[in-house]
Amino acid sequence: DGGITQSPKYLFRKEGQNVTLSCEQNLNHDAMYWYRQDPGQGLRLIYYSQIVNDFQKGDIAEGYSVSREKKESFPLTVTSAQKNPTAFYLCASTHGTVNTEAFFGQGTRLTVV
């Protein structure tokens, strides 16, 4: 079955550490997105990529980095520069432009301990 997979589902990080969240899709979608979800704030766009080897900053890119070396994969690194990383992170993909349905992964809950 085609879909979008995020791993791990839960992640704990010590302060000062970098962590990488995985996002893989087998939908042959061109565009991929990372969102951060906090209670009462909805989804905020971190980074997005429309094609391989290219990506753009979203609204809250500071403290995060991404890569898009393969069409199927769009990993997100939460760096130590991100001051408040505890949140629920969602990855999504669309075929071409956003004027089509976005498919979401099940999310990764990151907690700083």
Partner 1 sequence: GEDVEQSLFLSVREGDSSVINCTYTDSSSTYLYWYKQEPGAGLQLLTYIFSNMDMKQDQRLTVLLNKKDKHLSLRIADTQTGDSAIYFCAESRRADKLIFGTGTRLQVFP
Q: Is 2 in the site for partner 1 (CB under 8 A)?
A: no
Q: Is 101 in the site for partner 1 (CB under 8 A)?
A: yes
Of the candidates 14, 42, 54, 84, which one interacts with partner 1 according to CB under 8 A? 42
Q: Is 97 in the site for partner 1 (CB under 8 A)?
A: yes
- How, if at all, do strands 10-13 and 108-112 pair? parallel
Could you tell me the smallest distance in angstroms from the CB atom of residue 95 to partner 1? 13
Site for partner 1 in 10-39 (CB under 8 A): 31, 33, 35
Distance CA 39, CA 22 (A): 22
Q: Is 106 in the site for partner 1 (CB under 8 A)?
A: yes
- Strands (E) located in the chain: 4-7, 10-13, 19-25, 31-38, 42-51, 54-57, 64-66, 76-78, 87-94, 103-104, 108-112
Q: Is 61 in the site for partner 1 (CB under 8 A)?
A: no
Of the candidates 92, 93, 110, 112, which one interacts with partner 1 according to CB under 8 A? 92
Query: Residue 34: how many CA atoms within 13 Å on its side-chain side?
Result: 31
CA distances to 53, 73, 78, 102 from 6, rounded to whole Å, are 20, 10, 15, 15
Q: Could you list the residues that contact partner 1 (CB under 8 A)?
A: 4, 6, 31, 33, 35, 40-43, 45, 48, 50, 56, 58-59, 90, 92, 94, 97-99, 101-102, 104-107, 109
